[in-house]
Structure 1
Amino acid sequence: MTDMWQGRSCLVTGGAGFGGSHLVAELVDRGAEVTVVDRDPIPGKPLEDMGVEDAITFVQGDLRDREMVQDLVADGDFDVVFHLAADPIVANSIREPADVVDTNVRGTTELLEAIRVSPTTPLFIFASSGAYYGDNFDPTPIPEDQVPGPASSLYGPSKVAAEMVVRGFGKAFGIPHASCRFMNTYGPGDRHESRLVPRALAQLAAGDEYDFGDRDDGSTRLDFLYVGDMARAYMSAAEHLERGGTESAFNFGTATLTSVRDVAERLSLAYDGKEREPLFRGIRTGPPRQKRLEVSRAESVLGWTAATSLDEGLAATVAWYLAAVPAS
């Protein structure tokens, strides 16, 4: 990475969350001045896990609040905006689809509108998702120019719509922008047990049955990306815009497929060296889901590659969990 971050004013929406806290820590470490906006009161974790809660400016607010976000952007005079705020929980998009779409799309629109009417124009980095491409059953890596596909929840379509809004504002109003499409991200700080790795760790710590319910039969194969590599990816995209780059969408991942059953088995070994048989109670009704992204554009244009192997990342996540999460 370059030294462009020293003294730069950065806004990170959703920066108090799992992925955002890692990005915030990287920015602080590089000398940036960071403002975090989150709709929930500032939590002790995961920013506390990163040791940066006292090194940032925190603003509580919902991006759908037009007056709040316009004041924030106008007063902040930001050089770079990293837009991570969203509802990323797939189950929420099934239970409350309208609310998830409203949060993810309208929140993005209000933030870009605030930038449009502000006196300065920051670089804009959008946290998109591999869900952009919809459900997938083909192991072939997906390139950035593949069109969005059908999805079994509203999360993916909400990210597609938000990304279209980003592109529209970028082209119409000259906002330098890049969208970062990530595969399944894991790592220290993630406590949301709807996701595979936090659920596994919670069950291992509690001594519960190693049971992953009926959402999957264990055969789904995905690309798992370590959260530290994700943080570097965001910054690499911003550096690309700083250099005048024009590519506006990048895939990030390891380009490796791993079954969810294999991840659960590796986590058990990383946790205490014991082999456990994970229970996946779903019934397969067709070919297994498979998804990995073609990442050659990020490698060639940004100079970014995933630096953390799955075993290294799982070991780091287990070490964090044992140190940070009280035993039950």
Structure 2
Amino acid sequence: MSASTPPAAPATPPAPAGPDPATFWAGRRVLVTGGCGFGGGHLVIRLVALGAEVSVLDRDPGQEGVLAVDPARSRVDVREGDVRDEAAVAGALRRWRPQAVFHLAAQPLVPESVRAPADTLAVNAGGTYTLLEAVRRVDHVAAFVFASTGGYYGENHDDRPLHEDDPARAAANLYGASKIAADVAVQAYARTFGLPASVCRFMNTYGPGDRQTSRLVPHAIRRLREGGPYDFGERDDGTTRLDFLYVGDMVEGYLRVAERLARHPGGCYNFGSGRPTAIREVARMVSEAYDGVAREPVFRGPHRVRPLVKSLDVTRARTELGWTPAVPLAEGIARTVRYATAGPPG
């Protein structure tokens, strides 16, 4: 079976129909932290298209992400602010009075977490605590949705898809540790204070406009554009198999979770393809999408006797949210490469 073949139809029944997004989000006030970044930008653009009144708090609002070049930007109130700043966070909630908060602000890069562990922990864990404290002191937030990570489950070496009830495992890096701390905090606030909050655990999100070349797909595109060796360095030997999720599917996951919070208590949800793909194969797919040439990627990491493997069980998202990944890996990579080589449409 090819990496781009959609999963077989599930045996479990789909979720009951939820609210119509076209009417649910129309006129709804929404705050997105980190909304000028890669995932946040895509989420903001989708919310604007659905008619939401969107505001963004971002410590780097001038970054050249997907939102900066999209017409939706003119319809969004963007303010500079750090989620670690109690006054900035409280002021944002007071000014915009959001009904839904999507918390995506984070230091998202593993290499950066090694270089600057204190900042990573302060932003990812401390910033989440600051935002949770501010949200629980107001009465207008009906949904708090947190962007967590599949790194919650640590390193794995078997093919069993990981379930939301699996425990957090020792993090492989400081980024993972910081996100686990934030993930657990959101769950604790929901239980302790009745906060209408849910956690979304995503695996290796990729898509148009991602500029972070420490991640596999943007790194591959940069190498191809430079025309040099198709080299992926010493972080891996190429055998690691991971779940990859297209950014548009991630956005739909966020929306489904927030829509459910309007009717039910929160919970934790996995989002992924449900099928791990070797990163060497993903690199080959990027090369073929770029110019039709099947280059052999170079991975110079130490050989692993037991390859790392990680995929997420998405049964809960399917049955409770009616969510399934819509974009196969090959198609998502093709869209990503087209955006990188031709620029955004229009």
TM-score (norm 1): 0.96
Equivalent in the alignment of 2:32: 12
Identity between Structure 1 and Structure 2 (%): 49
1:253-311 Cα offsets, whole Å, 9 max, x none, are: 01011000000001111000011111000112441110000000000000000000000
- Which of the numbers 183, 190, 198 marks the counterpart of 2:203? 183
For 1:128, what is the secondary structure of its paired residue? strand
List aligned pairs for 1:186-205, cutoff 5 A: 186-205=206-225
Deviations 1:189-229 (A, max 9, x none): 10111010001001111111100001011000001100000
RMSD (CA atoms): 1.3
Match of 1:252 in 2: 271
CA contact (8 A) 1:10 1:32 kept: yes
1:270 aligns with 2:270: no
2:162 equivalent to 1:142: yes
Distance in 1 between residues matched to 2:306 and 2:64, nearest whole Å:
42
Is the counterpart of residue 129 in structure 1 residue 129 in structure 2?
no
Deviation, 1:117, is 2.0
- In 2, the alpha carbon distance for the partners of 1:43 and 1:10 equals 21
Does residue 1:215 correspond to 2:201, yes or no? no
Q: Is the counterpart of residue 315 in structure 1 residue 313 in structure 2?
A: no
Instruction: Identify which range, 148-157 or 29-38, moves more after superposition.
Output: 148-157
Instruction: State the match for 1:282 in structure 2.
Output: 301
Contact map agreement 1:210 1:279 (CA 8 A) in 2: yes
Residue in 2 aligned with 1:292?
Answer: 311
The separation in 1 between residues aligned to 2:272 and 2:76, in whole angstroms, is 29
Deviations 1:157-193 (A, max 9, x none): 2111111211222222221011000000000010111
Counterpart-to-counterpart distance in 2, 1:63 and 1:80: 16
What is the rounded CA distance, in whole Å, between the counterparts of 1:119 and 1:252 in structure 2?
Answer: 29
**Letter of the 2:143 counterpart:** L
Q: Secondary structure at the match of 2:201?
A: strand
**Counterpart in the other structure of 1:236:** 256
Amino acid at match of 2:61: P
Mapped contact 2:237–2:304 kept (Cα < 8 A)? no
Q: Kindly state the Cα deviation for residue 119 of structure 1 after the two structures are TM-superposed.
A: 4.1
1:70/1:118 contact within 8 Å kept: no
1:261 paired with 2:280, answer yes
Aligned to 2:5: none
1:99 equivalenced with 2:129 (yes/no)? no
Contact kept, 8 Å, 1:22 with 1:50, in 2: the verdict is no
Alpha-carbon distance in structure 2 between the residues aligned to 1:57 and 1:173: 30
Please name the residue that 1:32 is paired with: 52
CA contact (8 A) 1:74 1:119 kept: no
Per-residue deviation at 1:42?
A: 2.6
Aligned equivalents of 1:196 and 1:45: distance in 2?
Answer: 18
Q: Determine if contact 1:185/1:225 at 8 Å carries over to the other structure.
A: yes
One-letter code aligned to 1:152: A
CA distance in 2, matches of 1:310, 1:20: 21
The worse-fitting range, judged by mean Cα deviation, of 170-179 and 251-260 is 170-179
Q: Deviations over 1:111-147 (max 9, x none)?
A: 1111122242331000010001111111110000000
3-state SS, counterpart of residue 194 of structure 1: coil
Please give the alpha-carbon distance, in whole angstroms, between the structure 2 residues aligned to 1:99 and 1:197. Answer: 25
Name the residue aligned to 2:63: 43
SS in 2 for 1:64: coil
Amino acid at match of 2:288: L
Secondary structure, counterpart of 1:315 in structure 2: helix
Which stretch of structure 1 is more off in the superposition, 142-151 or 281-290? 281-290
Residue aligned with 1:158, SS: helix
In the alignment, structure 1 segments of 5+ residues that lack a partner are none
Q: Which residue of the partner structure matches residue 113 of structure 1?
A: 133
Partners of 2:45 and 2:140 in 1: CA distance: 25
Pairwise CA distance, 1:46? 2.1
Local SS of the residue matching 1:53: helix
Does the 8 Å contact 1:21/1:50 carry over to 2?
Answer: no
The answer to whether the 8 Å contact 1:74/1:114 transfers is: no
